Structure formats: C-alpha cells, structure tokens
Amino acid sequence: MTLPPARLLSAVTLSLLLAACGTSPTTTAAPVPTAQEPAAQGPGAPDTVNTDVGHSHGERAIPGLGVDPSTFPTHARLGTPTILPAARVSAQALPGNVQPSITALKVLILSSGSGDFGLATAKAMLQEAGVPFDVLDATMESLDMGRLVDAGGVGRYQGVVLTSSALIYAAPGGLYPSALDAGEWDTLFEYERTFGVRQLALYGAPGTAPEDYGLRTVAGAETSTTTLTLSTAGRAVFGDLTASAVPVNYAYTYPSAVTPMPGITTQVLATDPAGNVLAATSTSADGRERLVLTSAQNPYLLHSQLLSYGLVQWLTRGVHLGEHRRFLQADIDDLFLSGDRLDPATLAMRPNPYRVSGNDLLNVYSQMKNVQSAYPVARSFRYAMMFNGGGANASVPPLCVNWPMLTRDMLSSAAKCLYTQFDWVNHTRDHLRMDVMDLATATTQVGDNVTIGTKLGLVMSRNALVTGEHSGLGNMDPGDDGTYNDSDVNLPKQDLGLGRSNPNVLSAAVSAGARYLASDHSVASHWDATCPTCGVPHPLNSGVFLVPRWPNGMAYYVTDPTEALAYYNGMYGPAGRFPYYDHNLTYAEFLDKDSDLTLNHVLDGGAFPHYMHQTNLRQYAAGKSLATDWVRAALEKYSRYSTLPLTTLRWADLGPYLERHTREAKAKSAGTLYAVWNRATNQVTVTSTAGSVPVTVTGDTAGTLYGAYRSRSQDVTGTLTVTVAPR
C-alpha cells in the first residue's frame, strides 16, 4: 500500500458507510398489508444491546426503509375523477398590470386534503432541494387569481405541483370529485400559460379530466411492483440517473400508452418492462408544459427518492433557491480506547476488551484510498476519526509500516503517520458520561483531548466535539447522579429534551473552541423534524450548534462478520428479541438490508454523518473491515442508480455548512428571504429583510458545478442580483 510521507521524528521512521409520511389515501380504501408486506417491526427497534455507549437505533422500522410498509401507497387506486362546475371561483382574468416574465422563486403544492398520500412526497422533494413552497389544501381554500398573482402583477410561483393529476378525494356515493372546481382549474391553467409555469403531477391515471396528457391507462396492466427504465428523453430530464432500471415497489401504478390527441405533444420519459409509460412530459394545446408520473409516490420509496432531483430541476428549469447536494460522512468513534467485544457463541461480552491495532489503522487508510479509486461518486470520501486521547501515547515515533517492535504503541505511531489523512475530531479524553458532570471535569475532558491531539500532531477539526454516548444533551437517565460516569453501564435513558442538557458540557465545549457538537438522530429532540436537512441551534447556549448523526446496523462491539451477524440475527432473526425476518441473514443479506437504509439517508440530501466504532475497523481479512464493508455496500447501491457525486466534508467545514444551510432554510420558511426571477433578463433578485443571511441560488452562471447545475452560496443583506441560465 502507499501511505503519505511520515514526519521524520526519529531515524527508524519510514515513509510508505428509511415516519412514515405516506398515509391511507382518501381516494381509495386504506392500504391492506399482504403476506409480502411485513409488520412494522425490525431493525431500528429500541434496544439496550446496541447502546454504545449510546449507539442505539432508536427507531422501530422496516429494514432498509425505516417505515411500516402498510402505510405505503401499495393500494392507492385512483377513482374516476369528477370535475364539479365552477362554484367557488369562476374562471378569472389576469390583472391588468400582469408582468408575465417575472415570478417568485417559490413552488405551489396543490393538495386534495388531509389524507393526501402525495403531499409528503411533494414536501420532501422540495425540502431536499431547499426550494421554498406553499401548500394550498384545495378542499379548504379557494384557488383564485389573487393567490397566484401579487398586487404588482408578479407571479407568486415558478412551478406547480399536483399531488395527483386530478386532485380527487373520496366522497359519499362512490364519487371522486376534484378538490378544484372547473373555474379553479381554468384559473390555474391561465396562470401557467401566461407565466410559462410548469406543472408536475406526482401521480395520475391518465385520462381526459381535468385535462388530457395524450396518455391512456392500459386496462389490466395495473400493478404495485414493476421497474422503471428511462428513455432517451428521460435521460435528458433525469440526467443524474444511470441506465439501471429503477425498482418501483409498494406503489400502485397505472401503466399507460401514448394516445395522439390534436394539439397535444407527448414525450415518453420512462417505461416499464412491457414498454408501457410510467412517466411523460406533455405540451397542451395552449402551450403549457406538464409532467406526469403514473406510479404513486412516497418519500421513503426508492423510485420517489431517485426521481426527486430530476423532477425539481425540470419543474424549476434548473433555477431555484437552495441546492440539492448529497453526502457520505462516516465517523469512527472511540479511537485509542479499548471496547467491548461480542462472543458470537454466547452473545455475551468477552472477558478481554478489544482495541484496534496500528496495522488495522494503516489498512483502513489503504481501504479508504481503494474506495476513492473504485467509486467515481466518492472521490472525496474520507473517514472521520473521533479520538479519545486518554488511550493514546503521544511520545511514540510515527510509523507508516507495521513494525510494533519499534514503538510502545503501534496504534499511536500509525495515527502519527496518518495525521493528515483522516479527519481527526475530539471525542473527549476518556469517553466519560457527561450528563451530570461538573464544569471542571468537563473542561478537563474536552481541553486535555485537544492537547493530546496536538502532541500527536493530528490535523484536527478543532471546532467540533463528540461527547461520549452523545451525553450531556438531555438523553439520559433522569435519576443519574454521576455514579457511573466512568463506566460503560447502559443506564436506562429517556429523551428529556435539550432543555435538560448539561450546561457545564456546553460551556466546556465553547471554551475549547468547539461550536459543533454531534447529536443522535435517533433521539427526537436531537434533530429538527420541521426541517429534515437542518441542524439544531442549542436552546441553552448560542455558541453551540448540533449536527445530528445516524446510527447503523454495525453494533459497537463487533469486529468481524460472524460477530456482526450474531448480534443482528440475535435481535431481528426469527428467534431474536425483535423477530422480523423469517430466517437468519447471511452477511451479504445484512449488508444489503442496512445499505438500503443508508441509501435512504443519502438520497434525503442531509449532510448528516453515520457513525460506527473503533472495533468495526479490525482487519478481519486481507483488505477488509466491517466499516469499509458498510461503506462499499452503500456506494455499490448508490452507484447503481446515481452519478451525482457524494460530498464528504471535514467536520471543520461540515458544521459551518450545515449551520449556513439551516439559517437559510429558516429564513426562507419565515418569509424573510425570498427572490424573484425576471426571465426576460435572466436576472434573479434575492432579498433579505432580516439582516445578513446565507443564500444559495441554483442555476447561477458563476456558481460551483454540482452534477449538471451550478449553485452560488453567499451572504445577502438587503438585495442581491445574480444572472442565471435556465434549462
């Protein structure tokens, strides 16, 4: 293997890795689980076996998806729509001051009510891209021209999303009226035509109401399981996807066929194995552009997540506030310490703890470089090593080959060699539980570890901190008196909220220069459900910002596939604590299931790390470790479908990125950050009414290229004008 040059400190020194938001649709009976749809229990169920010292899943979930499949739109059949006569709104003329070239950079979601199974998907795809949106419940509110055009004649929306093509809902007598009446549909179409606004229907059974797409359903072809393959035209819209067929499972589908209609031009984007249409664009006789999908959607289903990026870019013509970027961050906790190790025969801990070796660390570096070479989407990938300096020896020489006879601690020597190759992050000196720790001890634990890292010569992300077990942040035993602060006893924990955080830990972090603290995404108070891609400003200390991290299926006390399976099958196999599978999984099956969940997280667009532990770095076979097996499984699956590069940031950059993203998202949500687009001049004017805030504009001609689109991120105070290039 090739390693970086070592620093010559002695003559012997050498150089060398899925709440369910879908609800029962109002257009049909509630989904009925079938024999192929397992119950809502499985990996992710709360347990104490996998607590690290806090490494618990914390979520009860179907493997690889994180939700109960009985809530998926497997049976989301669409009734025949009825368009009611204009009653609430007559077709309305545009105001006399209309400015058809100018629209706000915002999207309107039209919903058919509280049981609308497509609403969660519409929100998720826009949130992932950072696109501002409004939701209009058409069963409760009227859609008139005042809702679409402001007093200055500017269009309020750059795009329109229909959660289903006719916005139908169930009514007495077996009828399925549209939530928009004829006058409202006419008003919407007039707005779209005048302002050149595109319309996306997330689900439809193509027919003639409320309008014709030039498609008709193929009788008898309806299904809930199929695959989607892009056409040449589809690859232009979904340019981030590979040629691999996309699975469409748990989603009722109306395979359709092109039916030529006067004045309508239909372009097939995707087909099923029989050549039937699953997605198409269509231009109406009055020139409006529509895109319709004939499969039901859900934000946790693979086809919905994979199509999301291309759908948003098509809808907005590649010009919008925010950006859709994907991340692969892998943290390794507890480096330099010894940890529990499972005996797979007894499912008890072995008497002797396990500490990763220096040779293991050198090989993990080699594995990381091989990952970068093997997967073009992961060129920037690197591990973050969350280290506990209390287990290190800072006086040893750096060694870049495994010569333990030349050092008192080969692991510390290897770390010195690899001082720039990993992202080194403070995990406190001794990994103590900090929920009720005094200020002096907390300050010592945080500050001493920085000192040790400096003596080791590690290039650290000094603005970041991971506390042992994510402790000190309110997820704790409410009766904890500090007796077990220095042990790995898994006390019963409750999410008491961030208000029960230990202020001494927060103060110690700030004093040491650490602003960004890791939190546990499986703890409800540690992440922001209202903004799924945001971090969390700490309510008790403005100097602290939380970065949620995802757990995974690698228990903290396993070092090889046999141990990993003993834990996993002991939890979720047919005889496990939470029986889920009908057989004990093989290692390949386990990686396949867990990488489904990882893929779900990656496609969500959140810059949140996944975390594992030092035991998972053991080289159990030549060039192999559990951690790198997990990374490769995730990348193998992601690369099968997507070409978008996965960003890996050092924590020194990750924290600030996530904080800027959060500030921008909150400003857009509050309406204090907004923009208008003049398509005649291709100028976007961004306005902030709440002081200086970050803003990201996708489509900016001078921005940074990601995929096929450029985005610029900068601060704006007052107004900012940028030039864009629509697609």
Helix then strand then coil, in percent of the chain rounded to 5, is 25, 25, 50
pLDDT the model gives residue 656: 98
CA–CA distance, 676 with 158 (Å, rounded to integer): 9
Span 201-231, pLDDT tens digits: 999 999 999 999 999 999 999 999 999 999 9
Concatenating the DSSP letter of every residue in 100-150 gives TTEEES-EEEEE--TT-TTHHHHHHHHHHHT--EEEEETTTS---HHHHB-
- Residue 72, pLDDT above cutoff 60: yes
655-669 confidence digits (pLDDT tens): 999 999 999 999 999
Under DSSP, the state recorded for 80 is P
CATH classification for the domain delimited by 326-651, as one of 3.40.190.10, 3.20.20.220, 3.30.1370.10, 3.20.20.370 = 3.20.20.370
Q: Which pairing describes strands 348-349 and 289-293: parallel, antiparallel, or unpaired?
A: unpaired
Question: In the structure, what pLDDT confidence band is assigned to residue 47 with cuts at 50, 70 and 90?
Answer: very low
Q: What is the reported pLDDT for 559?
A: 98
Cis omega (within 30 of 0) for bond into 172: no
Identify the band that residue 40 occupies on the pLDDT scale cut at 50, 70 and 90: very low
> In degrees rounded to 5, what are phi and psi of residue 128?
-60, -30
pLDDT attached to residue 121: 97
What's the confidence (pLDDT) of residue 485?
Answer: 87
CB-CB neighbours of 10 under 10 Å: 13
Confidence of residue 491 (pLDDT cuts 50, 70, 90): confident
pLDDT tens column, 548-557? 999 999 999 9
pLDDT of residue 91: 62
Query: Over 90: is that where the pLDDT of 708 sits?
Result: yes
Q: What percentage of the chain carries pLDDT values higher than 90?
A: 85
- Token pair for 664: 């921008």
Type and span of the H or E element at 268: strand 265-271
Q: What is the pLDDT of residues 472-490, one digit of tens each?
A: 999 999 999 888 888 777 7
Across the range 180-198, mean pLDDT stands at 96
Q: Tokens representing 193?
A: 């035509």
- Whether 537 has a pLDDT exceeding 80, the answer reads yes
Q: Name every residue whose Cβ is closer than 8 Å to that of residue 232 and which is 6 or more positions away in sequence.
A: none
Domain ranges of the chain: 74-299, 326-651, 671-723
Q: What is the mean pLDDT of the chain?
A: 90
Task: Tell the CATH topology of 74-299.
Answer: Rossmann fold (3.40.50)
pLDDT score of 53 more than 70: no
Other beta carbons within 10 Å of 546: 27
Q: What is the mean pLDDT of residues 487-495?
A: 82
Residue 598: both structure tokens together = 């990882």
Q: Residue 691: which H helix or E strand, with range?
A: strand 683-698
d(CA 701, CA 699): 6
**Per-residue confidence (pLDDT) for residue 406, from 0 to 100:** 96
Question: How confident is the model over 694-703, as pLDDT tens digits?
Answer: 999 999 999 9
Q: Give mean pLDDT, residues 155-178.
A: 95
Over residues 534-540, mean pLDDT: 98
**More confident position, 60 or 196:** 196
Q: Which of 19-23, 315-319, 612-616, 670-674 has the lowest mean pLDDT?
A: 19-23
Judged by average pLDDT, the poorest of 40-49, 120-129, 419-428 is 40-49
Q: How confident is the model at residue 71 (pLDDT cuts 50, 70, 90)?
A: confident
- Tokens representing 408? 């008192």
How many CB atoms are located within 10 Å of the residue 348 CB?
10
Alpha carbon distance 544, 536 (integer Å):
9
User: From CA 167, how far away is CA 256, in angstroms rounded?
Assistant: 19
Q: Residue 574: is it exposed, middle or buried by C-beta count within 10 angstroms (0-12/13-18/19+)?
A: exposed
**Distance in angstroms (rounded) separating the CA atoms of residues 354 and 568:** 19
Other C-beta atoms closer than 10 Å to the C-beta of 351 total: 7
What pTM did the predictor assign? Answer: 0.91
Contact yes or no for 143/184 (Cβ under 8 A): yes
Cα–Cα distance for residue pair 344/348, rounded to 1 Å: 8
* Burial label, 287 (beta-carbon count in 10 A; 0-12, 13-18, 19+): exposed
CB 52 within 8 A of CB 613: yes
The mean pLDDT value for 573-596 works out to 95
Per-residue confidence band for 89, with pLDDT thresholds at 50, 70 and 90: low
